[in-house]
Structure 1
Amino acid sequence: MEEELNYSTVVFKNPIVSLQNEKKEEETVYAAIKAEGSSSTHQSPAIGEDNSPAPHSQPCRGVAVCLGVLCVLLVSAIVGLSVFSTELSEQKQYLMNLNSNLSTAIQILQSYNSNISTANQDLMSDKEELTQERDRLKTNLQVIYQLHDFPVNQYCSKTNGSVTKCNPCKFGWMLFQSSCYLIFFPDAPWKTWTESREDCKKRESDLVVISSQPEQEFISNQTQSYYDVFHGYWIGLSYQANNQSWMWVDGSVQGLKKGFWINSTQIQNTCVLTIQTNNPLAAWNTPDCTMNSLWICESIALNWSY
């Protein structure tokens, strides 16, 4: 058998082509090679041909990708800020409502506090009044308990027909501070110091105890001179030899230099009377206790409440 022949087609460049066409793209040269035992022909690009994309398209694609990513991030940021702004507005409104509620609560508490303070003041005032009323009743009861028979008619009388009004002192007695005084005037019988004290006790009282300068001045203003300069009004002060001190009928001690003596260097007797002088603070003298003179009784004043 004859040996099978294979053919190929070879195309050569035209040597006559001018140099001006060298810049043109080179022609593709295909070779037709018939494979042994095959009738098909394969075409392949000639050596030197390049199928890669153009170099200038790759940077544009990168820029586009970056811009796309930035747009996505920007949109995400805008959405996040919008959500955050909405939540912030809601929180602000909530805080404003809370502040308003707190302001209202503070006003209510201040009102309650003011009411409580007023109530406390009222309670303190009521307590003070009740305390005064208690002390007043206690004092009155002490006086009444000392009386064997409380002389209502000597303290109280009816006014305006049916209204009964009571005085702190019996009729005929004078009120000064918290005490009542009965001063006997010259037309009354004169008595010794001991007899004068007994008379005061019969009247549910005792000889006066002078404990202050205003009280001494009050007594001096209410008394008057009679008979001679040695006669005056017996008071409840006498010298107690067993105690070797000047003592009042209520048991309190009187210092010699603290009294209202006419002349403390000439004290000779043990009973004291106050004499009407030009100086009310130099009025005490000590005549004989058996000398007859007038006297002054003192009792506790009642404190009536109307």
Structure 2
Amino acid sequence: MCCHLLHLNIVSVVINQQKANLSYLTAENQQLITNRNILERETEELRSVTDNLNWTLKVILTFNTFPVNDFCPNKSCQPCQTGWHLFQEKCYLFYNEKSPWKTWQDSQTYCKNTAADLVVVDTLHEQEFISNHTEFYYDKFHGYWLGLHEKQNNWVWVDGRNDTLRYWLKDQIGDRGPCALVIPGRNSTASWDPEGCIMQNKFICERDVLIRSN
């Protein structure tokens, strides 16, 4: 009887020890899972920071001379330089200088000299943004040059893509030409006008933001 009780006590001690070991291992395993999740999150954050830094470097390298003071006044950098407007991950310059304005090609050259291009419209939201930032000037025939021109009977953006939006005016207001204007004050989905490329107009430049939001 005594031996039997002793055996039971030993078994009980062993079971309790195994339970304690199991509890310890379970806690250790949970801690490892927590540490792994933290490491994965930190790795993803580091990857995001690296991607954003690479993006910023890519934008900086598009400039012949990067205008630090325009982008980083008071040593605090911003997505767009002074005088440009931010929309999503793009910066826009609405050229609103007084006459003389510029031909389509001179407008594109001006944009290129600022590490940008004439604007390429990708979505209705972008078109609405543009419409909200253009204003009537001079007469109903004048507007803002877009980065859209006719090439071999197709309307092509300056990045090489064919236009699929076709936000043309319902009624043409001038002589038809191979370069596209957006006419201020018109319906967003019916405001583009095909004009002669040597006509002098205001224009819109577009480039990537310097700093992306996370």
2:91 to 159, 169, 180: 180
Report the CA distance shift for 1:90/1:265 in structure 2 as closer, same or farther (over 3 A).
farther
Match of 1:288 in 2: 196
Task: Tell me what 1:153 maps to.
Answer: 69
Structure 1 distance, partners of 2:50, 2:151, is 37
Which residue of structure 2 aligns with residue 234 of structure 1? Answer: 145
SS in 1 for 2:38: helix
Distance 1:113 1:268 in 2: 73
Matches within 5 A, 1:67-216: 85-158=1-74, 164-185=75-96, 187=98, 189-216=100-127
Which residue pairs with 1:49 in the alignment? none
Q: CA deviation at 1:100?
A: 1.1
1:235, distance to aligned residue in structure 2 (A): 0.7
Structure 2 CA distance for partners of 1:289 and 1:304, relative to 1, 3 Å: closer
Count of residues in correspondence between the two structures:
212
- Please state how far the C-alpha of 1:199 moved relative to its aligned partner: 0.9
Name the CA distance, whole Å, in 1 between partners of 2:129 and 2:205: 14
Measure how far apart 1:210 and its partner are.
Answer: 0.9
Quick one: which amino acid aligns to residue 205 of structure 2? C
Find the aligned partners of 2:60 and 2:73 in 1 and give their Cα distance: 18
2:162 is equivalent to residue 253 of structure 1: yes
How far did 1:217 drift?
1.0
1:269 alignment partner, one of 160, 168, 177? 177
TM score, norm. by length of structure 1: 0.64
Mapped contact 1:261–1:282 kept (Cα < 8 A): yes
TM-aligned CA deviation for residue 150 of structure 1: 1.3
> What is the letter of the counterpart of residue 262 of structure 1?
L
- Structure index of larger Rg: 1
Instruction: Give RMSD over aligned pairs.
Output: 2.2
Deviations, residues 31-86 of structure 1 (Å, cap 9, x unaligned): xxxxxxxxxxxxxxxxxxxxxxxxxxxxxxxxxxxxxxxxxxxxxxxxxxxxxx43
Opposite residue 154 of structure 1, the aligned amino acid is: D
Matched-pair contact (CA < 8 Å) for 1:200–1:297: yes
- Residue 146 of structure 1 aligns to a residue whose secondary structure is coil
Give the match's secondary structure for 1:90.
Answer: helix
Contact 2:172 2:193 (C-alpha < 8 Å) held by counterparts: no
Whether the 8 Å CA contact 2:60–2:210 is kept in 1: the answer is no
* Aligned sequence identity (%): 36
Match of residue 279 from structure 1: 187
The residue identity in structure 1 corresponding to 2:199 is M
Equivalent of 1:223 in 134, 143, 148: 134
| AA aligned opposite 1:283 | S
* Distance in 1 separating the partners of 2:76 and 2:26: 47
Question: In 1, Cα distance between the equivalents of 2:68 and 2:79?
Answer: 11
Q: Which has the higher contact order (CA 8 A, sep 6+)?
A: 2
Cα distance in 2, alignment partners of residues 268 and 260 from structure 1: 15
Matches within 5 A, 1:2-21: none
What are structure 2's unaligned runs of at least 5 residues? Answer: none
CA drift at 1:253: 2.0
